[in-house]
């Protein structure tokens, strides 16, 4: 008999080395191992295969997720990479989430997917795990779960879709979805034309082809050092994408060791690099929430980076990448201009080059190895530091009595820059239903100087913090040429949208002591982006009076409304934290329940 402590815990399915966990399930380690081997042999594996490092592959293919339609091909290429390098690849499923097919919002399910990912990685006997994701919430969910599981994890994204074509012009999801739908609604195009456009907006498998959340998270994952750099942008349908998959399989086999655990590789500096990239690509505001959730899973990083860190880095980081929605181009253009290698070469003076990557190389070593290629190929798509698209602070963090926990604005996406320093009276909508009923009402008391306020779309409020922050311009103002207004909410906005939009206001209005929750029509709101201020110009005593009035009203709520609902919704409402912490469940963070 081999005593339990003599098993090499890194070799899960190997009789010589032992099983990693589950050995005590029957109080008889050898019987457990005997059973496990019997069942894995039912899958057809021979003794030689079972002595190899086991590389898990998370399969997020789903008929409801066209962004992941190429996953079967990627798995085939990953397996080749694993086997050529002496590993045994074993795939398994987890939840898959698509932006358009997850109700009430995909964000509501992100934390559930992170739990599925974490627990299945921990439960099954694997030495390293390749996590295939792509669509907006899947990559954040997998990074959150992978870091918590702290098994060596290698993210592999599905890659961006190709742009489509309409009457000679390139179009692509989803910036052009919005522009063209607005044109159709305004009577500028007929039903045949909008139908033809619908055919071309998402012409291949893969993720949205602009700098939306999926592309942003792909660039961030590469910046963290967990994925090959060209893996951020190689098109979903390209041979390069398959070669990246094969390379990921190879990297996984050599990542089977303690130093390759994500909590070992990732440091505060890795995340600072990721935030620098977020600012330089004009990335999605959603990535701020996701990054906070991801880094708060890491016991060594949680608490060392806050919302204000994004702002400090923004002040010294110019916007360099000319992609929609901040610019004009598509992810394929970014890829052809050199992608993340070119961008990181350009950003080199702003980066922590000692940050480690999954291959064991430092970022500096990775970049040194690529200097010979003379990136970037196009200074139009990836600008030099001396000629940025926007000088700095693409994403800004605001504070004030209206947002003691912070708020976020993508200043580079403002259409009317005067609004970045604006004071005006509030026009308040209590929730999305109220907004839908009244926004186009002829009698709505609103002027171009009004500040549009939408409540109840925070993490708890809706639930799931929907992307409803892009409050439409009231029709009667739109009709006279008003294109932008100052708009405030506790929700999110699609990474593919633009305007002077303040998002993620915290604490959210659904919380009883939220100042944002007591804003009334006519209250004066002051926003000054340069000075980072978001202020409600109402005396403190009046704010306190309204909050205590609200508390009394709340005491009469039903059990359901008090957050004692059953099921996942109940768990979500009781456990989700605020946007500045990542809208994660408090019990999943490194710090544990609040
Ligand atoms: Fe999947 Fe846009 S819908 S990335
Ligand atoms: Mg999106």
402-443 residue pLDDT tens: 999 999 999 998 999 999 999 999 999 999 999 999 999 999
Interval between CA 520 and ligand 1 midpoint (Å): 36
pLDDT reading at 44 higher than 50: yes
Q: 214: Cβ below 6 Å to ligand 1?
A: yes
Average pLDDT estimate for 116-143? 96
Q: How far is the CA of 94 from the centre of ligand 2 (A)?
A: 21
Rounded distance, CA 504 to CA 493, Å? Answer: 9
pLDDT digits (tens, 9 = 90+) for 256-302: 988 999 999 999 999 999 999 999 999 999 999 999 999 999 999 99
Q: Three-class SS of residue 166?
A: strand
Between 550 and 179, residue with greater pLDDT: 550
- At residue 105, does pLDDT exceed 90? yes
What separation in angstroms does the CA of 564 have from each of 103, 409, 456? 21, 33, 18
The verdict on the CB of residue 67 being under 6 Å from ligand 1 is yes
155-161-162 Cα angle (round to 5): 140
Q: Looking at residue 23, what is its pLDDT?
A: 57
In short, whether 211's Cβ falls inside 6 Å of ligand 1 is no
User: Sheet containing 88-93: which strands, arranged edge to edge?
Assistant: 88-93, 54-59, 128-133, 153-157
Q: When comparing pLDDT for 192 and 27, which is higher?
A: 192
Mutate to test the pocket of ligand 1, among 98, 137, 164, 284 (most ligand atoms within 8 A of CB): 98
Question: Which ligand is nearest the CA of 161, by number?
Answer: 1
Over residues 157-176, the pLDDT tens digits come to: 999 999 999 999 999 998 89
Return the ligand 1 atom nearest residue 215 CA.
Answer: 4
74-94 per-position pLDDT tens digit: 999 999 999 999 999 999 999
Give the pairing type, strands 501-506 and 524-528: unpaired
Cα(262) to centroid of ligand 2, in Å? 26
| CB contact at 8 A, 465 and 213 | no
pLDDT for the residue numbered 32:
74
Indicate which residue's Cα is closest to atom 2 of ligand 1. 208
pLDDT at 453 over 70: yes
Q: Is the pLDDT of residue 493 over 50?
A: yes
- Taking Cα atoms as reference points, which of 409, 190, 438, 452 lies closest to residue 288? 409
Dump pLDDT digits (tens) for 500-523. 999 999 999 999 999 999 999 999
Residue with tokens 């926004």: 439
User: Does 21 have pLDDT greater than 90?
Assistant: no
Please answer whether residues 426 and 519 qualify as being in contact, where contact means their C-beta atoms are separated by less than 8 angstroms.
yes
The pLDDT score that the predictor gives to residue 420 is: 97
224 lines ligand 1 (CB under 6 A): no
How many residues are listed for the chain in this entry? 594
Answer whether 98 contacts ligand 1 (Cβ < 6 A). yes
SS3 call for 571: helix
Position 238 scores a pLDDT of 98
Mean pLDDT of the chain: 92
Residue 468 has pLDDT above 70, yes or no: yes
Burial of 198-207, coded b for 16+ CB within 10 Å and e otherwise, reads eebbbbbbbb
CA distance 318 to 323: 14
Ion ligand 2: residues, CB < 5 A: 136, 213, 494
ipTM over 0.90: yes
pLDDT computed for residue 581 by the predictor? 98
Q: Which residue puts its alpha carbon closest to atom 1 of ligand 1?
A: 135
Coil, strand or helix at 423: strand
| Tokens standing for residue 269 | 């500096």
pLDDT mean over 43-49: 87
The finding on whether 485 has its CB within 6 A of some atom of ligand 1 is no
Report the distance separating Cα 80 and Cα 593, nearest Å: 42
Q: Computed over its alpha carbons, how large is the radius of gyration of the chain?
A: 25
* Reported confidence tier of residue 113, pLDDT bands at 50, 70, 90: very high
* Alpha carbon distance 153, 134 (integer Å): 15
pLDDT band at 215 (very low <50, low <70, confident <90, very high): very high
The best mutation among 61, 65, 67 to test binding of ligand 1, ranked by most ligand atoms within 8 Å of the C-beta, falls on 67
Pocket probe mutation, ligand 1, options 137, 160, 205, 214, max atoms within 8 Å of Cβ:
214
Report the pLDDT value the prediction gives residue 12, as an integer from 0 to 100.
Answer: 46
Quote the pLDDT of residue 188: 87
Q: Report the 10 Å Cβ neighbour count for 458.
A: 30
Ligand 1 neighbour 116 (Cβ under 6 A): no
CB distance 135 to ligand 1 below 6 Å: yes
């Amino acid at each position: 008999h081999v005593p339990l402590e003599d098993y090499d815990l890194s070799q899960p399915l190997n009789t010589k080395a032992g099983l990693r966990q589950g050995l005590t399930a029957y109080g008889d380690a050898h019987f457990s191992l005997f059973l496990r081997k019997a069942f894995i042999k039912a899958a057809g594996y021979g003794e030689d295969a079972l002595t190899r490092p086991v590389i898990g592959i998370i399969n997020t293919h789903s008929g409801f997720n066209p962004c992941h339609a190429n996953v079967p091909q990627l798995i085939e290429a990953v397996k080749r990479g694993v086997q050529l390098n002496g590993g045994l690849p074993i795939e398994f499923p987890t939840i898959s989430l698509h932006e358009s097919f997850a109700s009430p919002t995909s964000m509501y399910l992100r934390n559930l997917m992170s739990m599925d990912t974490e627990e299945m990685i921990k439960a099954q006997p694997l030495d390293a795990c390749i996590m295939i994701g792509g669509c907006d919430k899947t990559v954040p969910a997998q990074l959150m779960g992978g870091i918590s599981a702290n098994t060596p994890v290698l993210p592999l994204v599905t890659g961006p879709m190709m742009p489509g074509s309409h009457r000679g012009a390139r179009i692509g999801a989803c910036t052009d979805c919005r522009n063209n739908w607005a044109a159709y609604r305004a009577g500028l195009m007929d039903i045949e034309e909008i139908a033809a456009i619908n055919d071309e907006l998402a012409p291949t498998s893969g993720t949205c082809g602009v700098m939306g959340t999926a592309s942003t998270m792909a660039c961030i994952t590469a910046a963290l050092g967990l994925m090959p750099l060209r893996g951020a942008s190689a098109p979903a349908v390209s041979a390069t994408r398959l070669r990246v998959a094969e390379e990921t399989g190879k990297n996984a086999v050599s990542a089977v060791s303690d130093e390759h655990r994500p909590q070992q590789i990732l440091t505060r500096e890795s995340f600072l690099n990721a935030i620098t990239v977020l600012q330089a690509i004009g990335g999605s505001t959603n990535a701020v929430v996701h990054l906070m959730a991801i880094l708060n899973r890491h016991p060594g990083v949680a608490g060392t980076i806050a919302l204000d860190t994004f702002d400090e880095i923004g002040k010294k980081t110019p916007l360099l990448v000319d992609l929609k929605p901040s610019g004009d181009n598509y992810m394929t253009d970014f890829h052809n201009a050199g992608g993340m290698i070119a961008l990181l070469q350009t950003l080199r003076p702003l980066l922590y080059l000692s940050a480690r990557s999954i291959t064991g190389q430092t970022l500096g070593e990775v970049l040194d190895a690529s200097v010979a290629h003379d990136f970037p190929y196009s200074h139009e798509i990836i600008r030099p530091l001396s000629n940025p698209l926007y000088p700095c602070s693409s994403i800004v963090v605001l504070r004030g009595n209206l947002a003691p926990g912070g708020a976020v604005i993508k200043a580079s996406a403002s259409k009317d820059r005067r609004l970045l320093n604006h004071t005006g009276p509030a026009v308040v909508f209590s929730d999305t239903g109220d907004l839908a009923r009244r926004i186009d009402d002829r009698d709505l008391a609103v002027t171009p100087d009004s500040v549009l306020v939408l409540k109840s779309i925070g993490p708890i409020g809706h639930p799931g913090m929907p992307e409803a922050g892009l409050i439409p311009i009231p029709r009667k103002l739109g009709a006279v040429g008003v294109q932008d207004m100052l708009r405030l909410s506790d929700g999110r906005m699609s990474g593919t949208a633009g305007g002077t939009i303040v998002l993620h206001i915290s604490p959210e209005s659904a919380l009883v002591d939220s100042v944002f929750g007591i804003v009334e029509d006519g209250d004066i709101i002051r926003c000054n982006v340069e000075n980072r201020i978001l202020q409600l110009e109402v005396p403190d005593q009046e704010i306190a009076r309204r909050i205590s009035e609200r508390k009394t009203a709340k005491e009469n709520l039903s059990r359901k409304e008090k957050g004692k609902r059953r099921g996942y919704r109940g768990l979500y409402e009781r456990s989700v934290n605020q946007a500045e912490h990542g809208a994660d469940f408090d019990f999943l963070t490194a710090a544990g329940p609040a």
